[in-house]
Each structure stands twice: as structure tokens, then as C-alpha cells.
Structure 1
């Protein structure tokens, strides 16, 4: 089997020595070449080139951002050959993800351990046994995502965290908590919710303050703790949505507490939940922060979401 390893050299939880160990281990199972990312978006280019070359497996070593880029590169290769109906997931390179970032939500949602060495061991076992599964993806306008999207508050928090990291801060649960409190109390227009969700054949649901979209559960992790606004979300189903109609202190605090509980099931008049959705559009009366897979993508006033079933084969 021909494979490439796409390495983000800035991956936060691996070293040059650990990368060398991973390369040697993978080469015991596959015919491997190693390619390092050099800029934002480079991983997508490498993945698309791999598909064009007939590579059978793409392995990532990095965080969720690296995974997202690789997935978009693979899906771009799929779109480029759609004249004959497009290749199925079986005809695209399979994806294996070695966790190397600070959170690694996608890898952990697949059941991989948090530590890169244990995750690599599980992937090697999967290769030896021929173990894989096919998963669905989400799509927001022209970009795919693996586990989540956000429109409003959570995306604005991610933007704050990214700005702090560029100033040299380390990504920690404390940094996220501080950023969330600052965004909520200082920079959110909590009294005038501006978002609406539109679905084919349904009345629009307006007056929403923030929206979380999930392609699987969990939405994210705080250390080892899963955060699950939509605990029934699944790679095997459509998209799940949780929206808050207003961002008042009491109701928002109650909902966040429900997220963090052992058996999350957010409820209340201010909560809108949609399960297993094939298609919907988020629109806003004013620009909203927007993120995919934990990557801030700027502000939008409208985003169309679709579920893409059985899109990608993964080794896990």
C-alpha cells in the first residue's frame, strides 16, 4: 500500500524524535513518503496531489486544522473527477489521523486515544487487520468539516483564542474559559439576537443568538471531559443543531451547565435543537463570527449547510 504522512511541523504534542518513531513504525506496514506542510492550506494541496497520484492512504500528524485541510483536499479530488458520477469513498485514499494537536476532537471522536503514541499504535493495528469505517461529513458552502461548525458566540471565542496564541499564549482550557467570558460579557450583543435557521419546507426559526452545528459527538473536549450539546450527533447521520434564542445570563449559564453534566440534554424555551438534518441555511441580520472544526474563518451573514453521507473512509 502506498501512503503519505502529512506532517504539521508545528504540531503541539510531538517532537522530531517522536515523528521519526512514527515514520519508522508506518514504514513497517506501508510504502510511505513524508511531506511537511509549509503554509496555511498546504495540507489540502498535498492531499489532493496524493489522490491524483493514486495514493491509497493519507496519514495526518497534527491537530484538527490539519485534518480539516486534508479532508478538503481529498474531497476536492473527488469533485474534480465527478464527470463520471464521482468516485465513492472506496476509490479515494483512506484517511488515518495521528493526534498531534492540543485537542484532537476528530481523532478522539473516532475512538482514538488522546496520546499520539497510543493513537498511532491503534492505527497500525487497524492497517494490519484491514479495519476501517466510512463516515459522513458536513459541508458549509464550499468547505467540508469533520465534527463541528459554529456561527456566533463559539466562533468569536475561537477567534479570541487564536489571537492570544499568535501573541504566544498556550492553548489551555483556562484560556478558552477566559476568552469565552470576555466575549460573552464584553463583545456580544446579547439583547438583539440576529440569526435565523431556514429549512426546506419549514418555517424559519429566528431570534437566535448563537448556533452550534455538529457532525458527530462530542462537540469538543475540556481536557478529558467531553462537551456534548448534541449527544445524539453521529458520523452516520445528518447534521445536528443547537441554537440559543437569547443569551441572557441565567438561561445561558443553565445551558452551559447542562453541556458539562454527565448526561447532557439541553432543554428549555430558549433552546432550539434539530437532529439528523440533511440541509439548512443560517442567515443573520448582521455579520457573525464563523468557524469550522475549530478554525476561525471570518464573519458571514449567510451559510448553507448540507450533510454529505458516506463521504470518506477512515482507519481507526
Structure 2
């Protein structure tokens, strides 16, 4: 088997020595080409090259959720063809690794490499669904290119928090759960739309859902992790179904306290609920419209401002080795 290993050298939880050990372990079982990413979007370009190659059967992403997202978008540049495209394998190296953990992989990169080798020997794989989003950005309503996401997207408050975290990381701060909590509190204090939401969810044949402050779109469950604790925004979300949405129409201090508590105590059976929480399950096509440009994120990557985003849930989009 010929495989391409895409390595993010800035991966949060792996050292250069650990990455060398993992590369040697993988190379012992396959004909491996390892490429270290050098710029933002490089992993996407490598994924596209692998998809267009005649002989690469597997692409392994060694990095966090952002690296995985880029590789997936490269692999699916010409659309989903799970039986014709190289399979995807993931070795988690980021701070959270939601996609890998949602697939049931160990969060430790060495253990995950062992699990990957076992899966390759036994031929264990599955085909997962993904989300596809396209919309208009900024204040000029310019078209934004369609982009795939593996586990979540968000418009509004949660994307604002991610944007704040990214700015702190650019200043040299480490990506920690404490950093996310601090930026969430600061965003809450600065949030201009927390009492009067600007987002409307529209889907064919259904009444619109209006005045949302935030909308979280989930392709799987959990939504994220706080350390080892899974957090369930949409507990029914699944790689085998369409997309789920959690919308909140109010972020007053009591409402935030209530929903934060519900998220921290969420389970696979129960997530946030209440008068100002709306949950939708297994959607295939819908649009989020905002009266004002709002921050937008996909797979934990802040993508700027959007006024409209159209989502499509695509079943059986990608073959994954697990």
C-alpha cells in the first residue's frame, strides 16, 4: 500500500521526536511518503494531489482538527467518491481532536497509531457523512467557496469565541481549555446581539426559526471536549445521518448560566433544552441567514464574517480507516 502522511509540525501535543517515532512505525507497514505542511492550506493541496494521484491508497493526517479539515477538503475537491478516493486515517496531534475521538480513536497519538495499524491489518473501515457549507461573506455579500466540515460549524457566539482564541494564539498564547473559557466570558460581556438574535434558520417546506443568537451545526456527537469530558450540543447527531442544529435565542446572564450548566452536564441522551433552545435533527438542506454579518467557524477554524450560509448534509461522503 502506498500512503501519504501529512504532518503538521505545529501540532500542539506532539514533539518532533514523537512524530519521527510515529513516521517510522507507519513506514514499517506501508510505502510511506511523509510531507510536512509549510503554509495554511498546504494540507488541502496535498489532499487534492493524493485524490488526483493514480496510486495513493491512503492519506494519514497527523495533526489537529484543522489539519484534518484541510486534508478532507483536498480529498473531496472534485466531490465525494468514497470507493474511488484514497481512504483517510487520522493520528491526533491537536489540543482537542474532536473528529478522531468521535470516531472512537485514542486521543494519544502513539496509541492512535497502534489502533490505525491494527485497523489496516484487519481491513477495518467505515464510510462517514460530512457537512458542506457555502455562503456569502463580509459586508459585500461576496460568495464564499463551498467547504466541507467533519464535525461542526457555527454562526454567531461560538464562532466569535474561536476568533478571539485564534487572535490570542497569534500573540503566542497556548491553546488551552482555560484560554477558551476566558475568551468565552469576554465575548459574553461584549456580545452585542445576546438579547436580540439576528439569525434565521430556513429549510424547505418548514416554518423559519427566527431571532437566534447563535446556531451550532453538528455532524456528530460529542460537539467538543473539555479535557476528557465530552460535551453534547446535539446528542442525536451522527456520522450516519444528516446534520443537527442547536439554536439559542437568548444569552442573558441567567440563560448563559443555565445552558453552560446543561452543556457541562450533558450526556449522550440529553443536551441543552428549554424555552430559548431549539434543536433540529437529521437535516439535509437548510440556510442560516443573519441580518448583520456574524463570525462563522467550521471544525474550530474561524472563517470570517457571514450573512448567509447554506448547509448540505452529505451521507457516505468519505471512507475512513478506524
User: What interval of TM-score do these two structures reach, taking the shorter chain for normalisation?
Assistant: over 0.9
Task: Give the match for residue 83 of structure 1.
Answer: none
- Secondary structure, aligned partner of 1:91: coil
- The answer on 1:107 being equivalent to 2:128 is no
Deviates more, 1:155-164 or 1:178-187: 178-187
Structure 2 equivalent of residue 71 of structure 1? 72
1:57, CA displacement in angstroms? 0.1
**Deviation at 1:209?**
0.6
In structure 2, the gaps of 5 or more residues are: 135-145
TM-score computed with the length of structure 2 as normaliser: 0.94
Partner of 1:305: 311
8 Å Cα contact 2:199-2:291 kept in structure 1: yes
Deviation at 1:29, TM superposition (A): 1.5
- Paired residue secondary structure (1:229): coil
Alignment partners' CA distance in 1, 2:12 and 2:181: 20
Aligned counterparts of 2:237 and 2:28: Cα–Cα separation in 1: 36
Q: Is the 8 A contact 2:231 2:266 kept in 1?
A: no
Equivalent in the alignment of 1:222:
226
- Structure 2: how far apart are the matches of 1:297 and 1:197? 20
Distance (Å, rounded) in 2 between the aligned partners of 1:134 and 1:53? 21
Q: 1:152 aligns with which of 132, 152, 156?
A: 156
For the aligned residue pairs, the C-alpha RMSD in angstroms reads 1.0
Aligned match of 2:3 = 3
Determine the C-alpha separation between the residues in 1 that align with 2:315 and 2:192.
35
Deviations along 1:29-50, one digit per CA (max 9) or x if unpaired, are 1111011111111101001101
Instruction: Give the match for residue 161 of structure 1.
Output: 165
Cα displacement string for residues 43-62 of structure 1 (whole angstroms, at most 9, x for unaligned residues):
01001101111310000111
Higher share in helix: 1
Q: 2 CA distance for matches of 1:53 and 1:145?
A: 23
Deviation at 1:189?
2.2
**Partner in structure 2 of residue 184 of structure 1:** 188
Q: Offset at 1:262?
A: 4.8
Unaligned runs of 5+ in 1: 80-86
Name the count of aligned residue pairs.
308
Superposed, 1:13-162 pairs within 5 Å as 13-54=13-54, 55-76=56-77, 78-79=78-79, 88-141=81-134, 142-162=146-166
CA displacement 1:222-273 (0-9 Å, x = unmatched) = 1001110101100000000000011111122211211111533322110110
Give the 3-state SS of the residue equivalent to 1:296 in structure 2.
strand
Larger mean CA deviation between 24-33 and 138-147 belongs to: 24-33
Whole-Å separation in 2 of the counterparts to 1:266 and 1:106: 21
TM-score by length of 1: 0.95
Task: Provide the rounded CA distance (Å) in 1 between the counterparts of 2:300 and 2:264.
Answer: 19
How far apart in 1 are the matches of 2:315 and 2:38?
A: 31
Query: What is the distance in 2 between the residues matched to 1:266 and 1:36?
Result: 40
Q: CA deviation at 1:167?
A: 0.7
Contact 2:129 2:240 in 1 (8 A): yes
